[in-house]
Amino acid sequence: MMAKLEFSLDQIDYQILRIMQENARTNNADIARELGMAPSAILERVKKLEQKQVILQYNAKINPDALDQKLLSFIFIKAQDPIGTQKVGLLLAKIPEVQEVHDIAGDDGYLIKVRTNDAAGLVDLMRNSLGKIEEIISTRTTIVLETVKEEQKLVIPTED
């Protein structure tokens, strides 16, 4: 079940991705104009990029402050997963406040990124959500004071 995906993107695809990465709501007509192509061709390309899972999704970046989500934290979690599984990782992924779960090298661990309203919210989460996961051995929390940059933009090649 581990089909090797074949991407194979050309320069035009890269340009589309570049535009989409800047503003995912750019319409096909605008992209078409910018690339000097017909809108229908762009539509085809974009559809294909979605099908090939090159574009995974379109999301709106919402200001955390607007939802009063003021505290960002990273938590290293040492856990004892049943061999060959990532049971803990999957449980962590289910927690809504947890934005990222990474299985990291070294200490049988995970690194998670968590957004809560405040310190109290973080404590709550650790007690009520992490606390419920028995396989967790220990945690180490790092509090973010200020975020200088936070994007998911990838570096898109200029030549093929």
Partner DNA sequence: ACGGGTAAAAGAATAATATTCAAAATATTA
Partner DNA sequence: TAATATTTTGAATATTATTCTTTTACCCGT
Residues contributing to the site for a copy of itself (CB under 8 A)? 5, 7, 9, 17, 20-25, 52-67, 69, 72, 74, 86, 89-90, 92-93, 96-106, 110-111, 115, 142-157
Exposed, middle or buried: residue 78 (CB in 10 Å: 0-12, 13-18, 19+)? middle
Min CB(117)–DNA separation in Å: 24
Q: Which two tokens stand for residue 18?
A: 């570049």
Q: Do residues 78 and 138 make contact, with C-beta atoms less than 8 angstroms apart?
A: yes
* Residue 130: DSSP 8-state: G
The residue among 37 and 126 lying less far from DNA, judged by its C-beta, is 37
The residue among 11 and 85 lying less far from DNA, judged by its C-beta, is 11
The residue among 36 and 65 lying less far from a copy of itself, judged by its C-beta, is 65
Q: Do residues 57 and 51 make contact, with C-beta atoms less than 8 angstroms apart?
A: no
SS3 for 6-34, per residue? CCCCCHHHHHHHHHHHHCCCCCHHHHHHH
Q: Do residues 120 and 79 make contact, with C-beta atoms less than 8 angstroms apart?
A: no
The residue among 1 and 147 lying less far from a copy of itself, judged by its C-beta, is 147
The residue among 61 and 82 lying less far from a copy of itself, judged by its C-beta, is 61
Beta carbons within 10 angstroms of residue 136's beta carbon: 18
Min CB(23)–DNA separation in Å: 12
String of contacts with DNA for each residue 40-79, x by CB under 7 A: xx-xxx--x-------------------------------
Of the candidate residues 2, 6, 36, 65, the single one contacting DNA (CB under 7 A)? 36
User: What residue ranges bind DNA (CB under 7 A)?
Assistant: 12, 27-30, 36-41, 43-45, 48
